C-alpha cells in the first residue's frame, strides 16, 4: 500500500483566506507543508499551479492526493477530518449552525466589502501608480462600515466571539479579512470598536498577536521568502 502523503497547503500570506488557514494550522498544530505561491509574481498562473487549481486562486489544500479549494471548505474539512479541539467548529448541531451562519454571511459581506476597500486604497494605487479614487473609496468605506455595524449588532451582540463564548473558524476568517484594509491607514472602519474587540479576543485565544503579522504581510517591501517550501511539524503559532 502506498504511504500516506503529508498534508500540503498552497498559500500566499498576503491573502486573507490564506492567513486564516495558516493561523488555524498553527493553532491546532496540524503537521503540514506550506508551498508558497507568490501572487505578485504570477505564480498562481503557472501551468503547475493551474493543474491543481484551474481557478488560479489560493488557498489550495492537497491531503493525500485529495485537492480542495475555497478557504471555507478547506478549513471545515480539516477540523472535521482531524482531531482538533471542538471549539473551532463545534459538532453540536446548533453551535455548528451558528458558525455556518456567519461564514455564509462572511463571503457575501465582510470579505467583499473589506477587500474592496483594500483594493481601492492600497492595491490599485500600488499597482498602477494612480492616485486613490476618492469617491469610489468613500462609497466602499461606507459599505464596510455598514457591514461592521451589522456584524456587531447581529453576531457580536453580548458575546466576545462571533459565534459564542469561544473562538471558532468564523473568527479567524473575519479577523484576517478586517486586518487587511487597516493596512491602508489609521482611523479606518476596520479599526472600529467591534473589529478591534474581536481581534483582541481572537489574538488572546491564539496565544499571539494577530495584527502585527498582517501588517507585515501587507507591506509592499516585504522580502520574498528564501525557500518556496516550509515544513511545519506541529510547531506552535509562529509569526
**Which stretches of the chain bind ligand GSH, using CB under 6 A?**
15-17, 39, 44, 56-59, 70-72
- Least distance from ligand GSH to the Cβ atom of residue 51, Å: 16
- Residue closer to ligand GSH by CB (options 58, 148) is 58
Residue 50 or residue 204: which is nearer to ligand GSH going by CB? 50
The residue among 72 and 182 lying less far from ligand GSH, judged by its C-beta, is: 72
The three state secondary structure string of the chain is CCCCCCCEEEECCCCHHHHHHHHHHHHHCCCEEEEECCHHHCHHHCHHHHHHCCCCCCCEEEECCEEEECHHHHHHHHHHHCCCCHHHCCCCHHHHHHHHHHHHHHCCCHHHHHHHHHHHHHHHHHHHCCCCCHHHHHHHHHHHHHHHHHHHHHHCCCCCECCECCCCHHHHHHHHHHHHHHCCCCCCHHHCHHHHHHHHHHHHHHCCCCHHHHHHHHCCCCCCCCCCEEEECCCCCCC
Q: How far is the CB of 27 from ligand GSH (least distance, A)?
A: 19
Q: How far is the CB of 61 from ligand GSH (least distance, A)?
A: 10
CB of 30 to ligand GSH, least distance (A): 18
Closer residue to ligand GSH, CB minimum distance, 38 or 197:
38
Q: Which is nearer to ligand GSH, 18 or 167 (CB)?
A: 18
CB of residue 66 to ligand GSH, shortest distance in Å: 16
Amino acid at each position: 500500500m502506498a504511504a500516506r502523503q503529508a498534508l500540503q497547503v498552497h498559500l500566499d500570506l498576503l491573502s486573507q483566506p490564506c492567513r486564516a488557514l495558516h493561523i488555524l494550522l498553527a493553532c491546532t498544530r496540524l503537521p503540514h507543508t506550506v508551498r508558497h505561491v507568490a501572487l505578485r509574481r504570477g505564480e498562481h498562473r503557472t501551468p503547475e499551479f493551474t493543474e491543481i487549481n484551474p481557478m488560479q486562486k489560493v488557498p489550495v489544500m492537497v491531503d493525500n492526493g485529495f485537492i480542495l479549494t475555497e478557504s471555507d471548505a478547506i478549513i471545515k474539512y480539516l477540523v472535521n477530518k482531524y482531531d482538533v479541539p471542538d471549539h473551532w467548529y463545534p459538532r453540536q448541531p446548533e453551535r455548528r449552525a451558528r458558525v455556518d451562519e456567519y461564514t455564509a454571511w462572511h463571503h457575501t459581506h465582510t470579505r467583499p466589502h473589506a477587500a474592496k476597500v483594500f483594493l481601492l486604497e492600497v492595491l490599485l494605487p500600488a499597482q498602477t501608480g494612480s492616485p486613490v479614487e476618492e469617491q469610489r473609496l468613500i462609497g466602499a468605506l461606507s459599505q464596510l462600515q455598514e457591514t461592521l455595524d451589522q456584524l456587531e449588532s447581529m453576531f457580536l451582540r453580548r458575546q466576545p466571539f462571533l459565534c459564542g463564548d469561544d473562538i471558532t473558524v468564523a473568527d479567524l476568517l473575519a479577523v484576517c479579512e478586517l486586518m487587511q484594509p487597516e493596512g491602508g491607514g489609521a482611523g479606518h472602519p476596520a479599526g472600529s470598536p467591534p473589529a478591534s474587540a474581536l481581534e483582541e479576543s481572537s489574538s488572546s485565544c491564539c496565544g499571539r498577536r494577530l495584527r502585527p503579522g498582517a501588517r507585515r504581510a501587507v507591506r509592499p517591501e516585504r522580502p520574498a521568502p528564501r525557500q518556496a517550501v516550509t515544513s511545519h511539524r506541529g510547531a506552535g503559532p509562529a509569526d
